[in-house]
Chains A and B, each alone.
Chain A
Amino acid sequence: MIEINNLTFTYPTGTNALKELNLKINDGEKIGIIGQNGAGKTTLIKNLNGLLKPTKGSVIVNGVDTRNVQIADMSKTVGFVFQNPADQIFNPTIKGEIEFGLVQQGFKKNEIKHRTDSVLKNIKLYEKRNVHPSNLNYSERKLLTIASVLAMDPKIIIFDEPITGQDYKGKIAVEKIIHSLKDKTVIIISHDMEFIARMVDRIIVMCDGRIIADDSKIKIFQNNKALCTAFVEPPEALKISKKLGLKPCLTIEECIEEAKKVFK
């Protein structure tokens, strides 16, 4: 569980990026964080894994106050997938990239091999395991960074813009992986509302360092005031279902099901 109490974060430059945030995230929840660039989304998630420590207030992750632990220890509980794979890849082989975190965490050789092989097979890069990551395309590199986090099996996984720059095939691959994380707490930042609608149950809307709405996805996507303030458009499926007079649908699959009932 994550408990955020009166969290304020001010950068050394004086920018007040988070203003007295209060938030509770339960185990296994799938959460989307949306809002304009500069709203405070990335600052918030960096406070969840201890990359940043609160200026005021506290962040308690599974009973541990982030101010009292090292980032290395936090990474066992909270996995973080950065937006740009280049920020996260630095090993000379694909296999080495996955093994690195496991070695740092002191896993035994057999366990490291088992986990590495397993995640590489999962993302279909096992055959290329000895190749330099720079030989992968953007989508594959993104999958590699996700796999290196999954290998450590953290309870909470944070994705910062996981599908930015991805094509259709890349998006589908990322979606499949996130869907498979059923028992994990998943927190996703994204500007793609179709993706958010398919991936999460609850949405937090941020604007100017504050949480302006926090509710189920269906309620958030019908909260025009919050969406407008955060400069966010609802998913296309919702607009289409309205035009067709159907019950509000957030995904096109739902919309098709509803349309089949009405239009014979």
Chain B
Amino acid sequence: MITIKNLNFKYSGTNNYALRNINLEIKEGELAVIIGSIGSGKSTLAKCINGLIPHFVNGIMSGEVEVAGIKTADIDISDISKIVGMVLENPLTQLTGYGTTVEEEIAFGLENLGLIREEMKNRINSVLKLLDIEKIRYKDPFDISGGQQQRVVLASVLAMKPKILVLDDPTSQLDPSGAEEVFEELKKLKGKQTIILITQKMNIIRELASRVIVMSKGKIVKIGKPIEVLLDYKLLKRNNIEVPAETELLYKMNYNKKIMEMLKV
């Protein structure tokens, strides 16, 4: 579903490459989680997948990004947005303020797609049901909790039926219950939708991810199964990524078998 070959990118006005020789293949239905410290290149990679790079952000790019079989450099950004849906960190930066209800907020993107009224209605009903937000259908999107706002953003994006969903740290501005709401929705989507999730929340990776991609200084330094990455103390430390408490303990206790059994690792 996504193929990236020898991708390099340098923002204009900077000296260092933000992405260096990225090669990556994401299959249909995968939920790939990207982790890495600030400046590791995670968000830049997301911008390459949704076409903001090279169409909108200035810089030097080489290599290829293909989404659903189409090279992002070859089509308009408006066409890429029909293939790749993006959810940003803070829902307030993404809610359009168009109309005064959640329903109208979701309708905004669909109107821009030029869909007929009946199709719009069907899609709105379907995402409201899927994300369990029917009860806030007529509420003001700016008068609901942060978790609900992020679910409305997610609903607006999903209503456009993108083949790929990219979420850039979608819970960093939410409180724990808001974050939980969003992760619960992602669990529902797992397997049904190709998803790339950038997150700093290590505790959800094990349950959610099919693969974990570790980035550092613009490079992919590891791609592995969640448990493989989460238990790799040295890899996480070396790349300035928060080590889960369980991993820290296991490493310091030389992966004691009894402890591993008791913690069900």
Query: A-side interface residues toward B, CB under 8 Å?
Result: 36-38, 137-139, 164-171, 191, 194, 231-233, 235-237, 240, 243-245, 252, 255-256, 259-260, 263
Decide if B240 touches A167 in the complex (CB within 8 Å): yes
Asked if A263 and B245 make an inter-chain contact with CB atoms under 8 angstroms apart, the answer reads no
Please pick, from A137, A231, A256, the residue contacting B177 in the complex, using a CB distance under 8 A: A231
Q: How far is the CA of A165 from the CA of B200 in the complex (A)?
A: 8
A residues less than 8 Å from B245 (CB atoms): 194, 235-237, 240, 252, 255
* A contact residues around B218 at 8 Å (CB): none
Q: List 21 A-B contacts (CB under 8 A).
A: A165-B89, A167-B36, A168-B242, A168-B243, A231-B177, A235-B245, A236-B246, A237-B245, A240-B245, A240-B249, A245-B262, A252-B248, A252-B249, A255-B249, A256-B248, A256-B252, A256-B253, A259-B249, A259-B253, A259-B256, A263-B259
Name the A residues within 8 Å of B126 (CB-CB): none
Chain B nearest CB, measured from A11 CB (Å): 14
Q: Are the CB atoms of B263 and A244 closer together than 8 Å? A: yes
Is A263 a contact partner of B176 (Cβ separation < 8 A)?
no
Q: How far is the CB of B202 from chain A (nearest CB, A)?
A: 10
CA distance A263 to B249 in the complex (A): 12
Residues of B within 8 A of A252 (CB): 245, 248-249
Decide if A240 touches B253 in the complex (CB within 8 Å): no
Is A137 touching B39 in the complex (CB atoms < 8 A)? yes
Our pick among A169, A171, A236, A243 for the contact of B244 (Cβ within 8 Å) is: A236
Q: What is the bound-complex CA distance between A86 and B165, given in angstroms?
A: 29
Tell me if B85 is interfacial: C-beta within 8 Å of chain A: no
Chain B contact residue count (CB 8 A cutoff): 33
In whole Å, how far is A67's beta carbon from the nearest beta carbon of chain B? 31
B16 → chain A closest CB, angstroms: 13
- Chain A positions within 8 Å of B169 at CB level: 165
Chain A residues with Cβ below 8 Å from B130 are none
Q: Are B37 and A168 in contact (CB under 8 A)?
A: yes
Contacts of A138 in B (CB 8 A): 38
A167 close to B263 (CB less than 8 A): no
B112 at the interface (CB under 8 A from A): no
Interface members, chain B 170-212 (any A CB < 8 Å)? 172-178, 200, 203
List of 6 A-B pairs having minimum Cβ-Cβ separation, nearest first: A236-B245, A231-B177, A167-B37, A168-B242, A252-B245, A37-B175
